[in-house]
Amino acid sequence: MKKSLVALAALAATAAFAQSTVTITGIMDANYQTTKQPGDQSYSYVGQNGARTTAIKFTGTEDLGGGTQAIFMYAFDPVMFANNGNKYSAIHAPTAGTAVAANGFAQGIGIPANAQTGFVGADEAYVGLNDATMGRIRLGTVNSNLFETYAVASQMGTGIGTGYNAGGVVPNFTRYESAFRYDTPVYNGFSGGFLRGTGNDSQFGTAASGVTTVVLRRPTVTDWSAQYANGPLTVKYAMNKSVATSNESSNPGVTTTYKLLTGKYDAGVAIVSYGTGTYTNDAAASTLDAKINIASVVVPFMGTYRALVQSSYFKYSNGATTSYNLGEKNKTTGWGVEKDLSKRTFVYLRGERTDLSATALNSFVVQGVAQSGVPWGAVNSTRTVTAAGISHQF
């Protein structure tokens, strides 16, 4: 009898645990990369995130009954190599009081670090509910609708060849912490999403305290999207409006607005995608408008190969700023070839050429010399990157 009760208890416990699952997945991506920066400063190193972002993800679901699930994700993007934790930028804005260095890795602030609070690793971290008829709610650090709209057009992701978060071509609007997001169910191919960021930055310093090189992903943000996806066609529109907090800007209250329309069509022999949109910033002393354009083509061939081509640009206009050359474009043209070794692993070659003509040269360091009042015509304004790597998903 005791054995029977123990067996029944064990069976009941097994059934209960079967309703909950936790999965560990991720991507490890590394490459050997050669970069030539404006001013003809060059270097090579082993880096990461050439084709996909290195990340480790813990996801979980629990069946609550009636088509409802509790869900969570904790993900972090580990730095695999100690070359430079801020994305290996060799063209830097000088910091006051910082000695100008002769190499590409010690010239001022570089690309600002993205800081988050708590045990968080620069990726999604949320808990929420998912219901078959009511939709999905998530609380925490969540990807933005704008980023997912961008992803429809960018078939090269955010890696080499895209210009994403790479010195003035496509800014980083991937995700926001301290956020709430709701996604509707899909109705006949139509769906939508809404995200609201709280803007709570009270305990993490201010620009006045000198914390100006850390960009916290916690502005007061309203971000929404509408999508139609049916068969080979996907069309998505997003608008993202954020108000800078005192912690991330010396001009708190500045409103930045993105509007982006993207589309993708899978014709079998090729995937073609395109995106167009606008950017506006209403800072009193440095208002700025820009046009966004993204075009991408992926062509599979010989069974296990893919050829990729992409072009992305921001064209700056209608502004009152000394940071950009109005009427000019910051443009990245990228290419790539990938070969599948299995369903989860591929090797790749990627390259990009970025023209920073729209970014004013003032305040940059080139070849160890801080530039001031020097036109781009006197110094090469292009950056080239080539990389060979391997990307593994587990």
Enumerate the domain spans of the chain: 40-393
Mean pLDDT for 89-100 is: 41
Query: Which SS3 state, helix, strand or coil, does residue 196 take?
Result: strand
> Rounded to whole angstroms, how far apart are CA atoms 176 and 224?
13
pLDDT at residue 362, rounded to an integer = 66
Question: Contact, 47 vs 88, CB < 8 A?
Answer: yes
Question: Contact, 241 vs 257, CB < 8 A?
Answer: yes
Residue type, 97: G
Which of 92-96, 191-195, 278-282 is modeled with the greatest confidence? 191-195
Question: Contact, 284 vs 255, CB < 8 A?
Answer: no
**Does position 178 have pLDDT exceeding 90, yes or no?**
no
pLDDT at residue 171, rounded to an integer = 80
Q: What is the DSSP letter of 103?
A: S
Mean pLDDT for 332-338 is: 97
Q: How confident is the model at residue 368 (pLDDT cuts 50, 70, 90)?
A: low
Question: Contact, 248 vs 212, CB < 8 A?
Answer: no
Of 345, 251, 330, 256, residue with least CA distance to 293? 330
Q: What is the pLDDT of residues 245-303, one digit of tens each?
A: 665 555 667 888 999 999 999 999 999 999 999 999 887 677 889 999 999 999 999 99
Mean pLDDT of the residues in the chain: 81
Beta bridge partners of 307: 299, 337
**Does position 132 have pLDDT exceeding 60, yes or no?**
yes
> Rounded to whole angstroms, how far apart are CA atoms 382 and 379?
9
The mean-pLDDT minimum among 135-139, 198-202, 390-394 falls in: 198-202
62-97 burial, b for 16+ CB within 10 Å, e for fewer?
eeeeeeebebbbbbbbeeeeeebeebbbbbbbbeee
**Does position 90 have pLDDT exceeding 50, yes or no?**
no
pLDDT at residue 114, rounded to an integer = 45
Instruction: Tell me phi and psi for residue 375, to 5 degrees.
Output: -75, 155
**Does position 82 have pLDDT exceeding 60, yes or no?**
no
> Rounded to whole angstroms, how far apart are CA atoms 240 and 217?
14
> Rounded to whole angstroms, how far apart are CA atoms 42 and 90?
9
pLDDT at residue 167, rounded to an integer = 60
pLDDT at residue 208, rounded to an integer = 42
Around Cβ 118, how many Cβ atoms within 10 Å? 7
Q: How confident is the model at residue 1 (pLDDT cuts 50, 70, 90)?
A: very low
For the domain covering 40-393, report its CATH number.
Answer: 2.40.160.10
Q: What residues contact residue 6 under an 8 Å CB cut-off, 6+ apart?
A: none
pLDDT at residue 191, rounded to an integer = 98
Around Cβ 171, how many Cβ atoms within 10 Å? 15
pLDDT at residue 260, rounded to an integer = 97
Residue with tokens 């606008």: 278
Radius of gyration of the chain (CA): 23
**What sign for the dihedral angle of Cα 357, 362, 365, 367?**
positive
Q: How confident is the model at residue 165 (pLDDT cuts 50, 70, 90)?
A: confident
Of 161, 77, 90, 152, residue with least CA distance to 349? 161
Residue with tokens 């100008």: 100
Beta bridge partners of 190: 187, 228
> Rounded to whole angstroms, how far apart are CA atoms 206 and 219?
13
Q: How confident is the model at residue 159 (pLDDT cuts 50, 70, 90)?
A: very high
Question: Contact, 64 vs 4, CB < 8 A?
Answer: no
DSSP characters over 148-194: HHHHHH-TTTTSTTS-BTSSSSB---SEEEEEEEEEPPPBTTEEEEE
pLDDT at residue 242, rounded to an integer = 87
Mean pLDDT for 37-49 is: 81
H-only helix segments in the chain: 2-18, 145-153
Q: Give 249-252 contacts, CB < 8 A, sequence gap 24+.
A: 249/207, 250/207, 250/212, 251/283, 251/284, 251/285, 252/207
Q: CA dist 202 to 20, 109, 115, 216, 218, Å? A: 37, 24, 14, 12, 11
